[in-house]
Amino acid sequence: MNIFRFAGDMTHLCSIVVLLLKIEATKSCAGVSLRTQELYAVVFVSRYLDLFFTFISVYNTVMKVFFITSSFCIIWYMRHHRIVSQTYDREQDTFRVAFLVVPCIFLALLVNHEFSMVEVLWTFSIYLESVAILPQLILLQRTFNVDTLTSNYVFLLGAYRALYILNWLYRYFTEPGYSQWIVWSSGTLQTAIYCDFFYYYVVSWRKNERLSLPS
Amino acid sequence: SAKSAAKDEL
């Protein structure tokens, strides 16, 4: 495993820890999209089905179990925690997830490496992950609640994507025969969506800064 | 193969 891949995994892990800590410490999930969190749970479950069939490494297994359990933990907080669930922006978080899930199902059925249950589900998870952040970005733009912790979460997720691109480049040049165009194209789309968010974030941050200057 | 290339990633 190269340093980019490891750093990418760690920022991904940190992003989830930051989100959980924010929810636990502030007893609030204001500005967090439950729809995005549910999409991530679907992504992890459909991708990590291979936990039952193939063993890659202890690291791999531990990380997969962590991603699945932490995503369900966040969903539980947002849906069922007595105090946290009341802070959920239900009226603002209205993105129609079917617009993302249904095209991803069709695309996974059409474009995959092998037409088998596990492989199609894996491909579906790759496609879905690339767009799963959209409800979160729409919610951030709507509520304009650029809460530091929520934006840290989104920033860390973006850093994870960028590091994964470096990891792919590194592996492409160092491992003969390493090539994975489904993951590359979805990952590039995903990173582009984050760049769009960064642009929006910087613009609103600069606007806020200008507003707070003494007149 | 391309099928297995990404399977060790998360």
Q: Per the domain annotation, does A161 fall within a domain?
A: yes
Please give the interface size between A and B, counted as residue pairs whose CB atoms are below 8 Å apart: 35
Question: How many angstroms separate the first and last alpha carbons of chain A?
Answer: 53
Chain A CB contacts of B6 under 8 Å are: 126, 180, 182-183
Chain-centre distance for alpha carbon A120: 20
Q: Per the domain annotation, does A114 fall within a domain?
A: yes
Inter-residue contact A104 to A127 (CB < 8 Å): yes
> Helices (DSSP H) in A48-180: which residue ranges?
58-80, 98-110, 117-131, 134-143, 148-174
Q: Per the domain annotation, does A215 fall within a domain?
A: no
Q: Per the domain annotation, does A53 fall within a domain?
A: yes
Inter-residue contact A104 to A124 (CB < 8 Å): yes
Predicted local distance difference test score (pLDDT) of residue B2: 67
Residue range(s) defining the domain that contains residue A193:
3-206
Predicted local distance difference test score (pLDDT) of residue A70: 98
* Residue A192: partners with Cβ closer than 8 Å, 6 or more residues away: none
Give the integer Cα–Cα distance in Å for B1 and A206. 47
Residue numbers of A between 107 and 166 with CB closer than 8 Å to B: 113-114, 119, 122, 126, 164
Residue A162's Cβ-side half-sphere holds a number of Cα atoms within 13 Å equal to 10
Is B7 within 8 Å of A9 when comparing Cβ atoms? no
B2 to chain A nearest CA, in Å?
5
Of the candidates A28, A19, A33, which has an alpha carbon nearest to the alpha carbon of residue A153?
Answer: A19
Q: Per the domain annotation, does A8 fall within a domain?
A: yes
Predicted local distance difference test score (pLDDT) of residue A119: 94
| Residue in chain A nearest B2 by alpha carbon | A180
- Four-residue CA torsion sign, A15, A21, A24, A29: negative
Residue A169's Cβ-side half-sphere holds a number of Cα atoms within 13 Å equal to 8
Residue numbers of A between 18 and 77 with CB closer than 8 Å to B: 50, 54, 56-57, 60, 63-64, 67
Question: How many angstroms separate the first and last alpha carbons of chain B?
Answer: 17
| Residue in chain B nearest A66 by alpha carbon | B10
Give the integer Cα–Cα distance in Å for A103 and A38. 17
What interhelical angle do A58-80 and A34-47 show, nearest 10?
A: 150
Predicted local distance difference test score (pLDDT) of residue A143: 78
Task: Measure Cα distances from B3 to A5, A25, A60, A152, A169 in Å.
Answer: 19, 42, 18, 34, 18
Sole residue written with tokens 């860390």: A156
Predicted local distance difference test score (pLDDT) of residue A146: 62
Is A56 within 8 Å of B7 when comparing Cβ atoms? yes
Predicted local distance difference test score (pLDDT) of residue A187: 95
Is A50 within 8 Å of B2 when comparing Cβ atoms? no
Predicted local distance difference test score (pLDDT) of residue A207: 74
Is B9 within 8 Å of A183 when comparing Cβ atoms? yes
B5 to chain A nearest CA, in Å?
6
Q: Per the domain annotation, does A213 fall within a domain?
A: no
pLDDT profile of chain A (215 residues), mean per 10: 96 96 94 96 96 93 98 98 96 96 98 95 97 92 72 88 96 93 95 85 74 58
Q: Per the domain annotation, does A104 fall within a domain?
A: yes
Q: Per the domain annotation, does A16 fall within a domain?
A: yes
Predicted local distance difference test score (pLDDT) of residue A181: 93
If one counts the domains in chain A, the total is 1
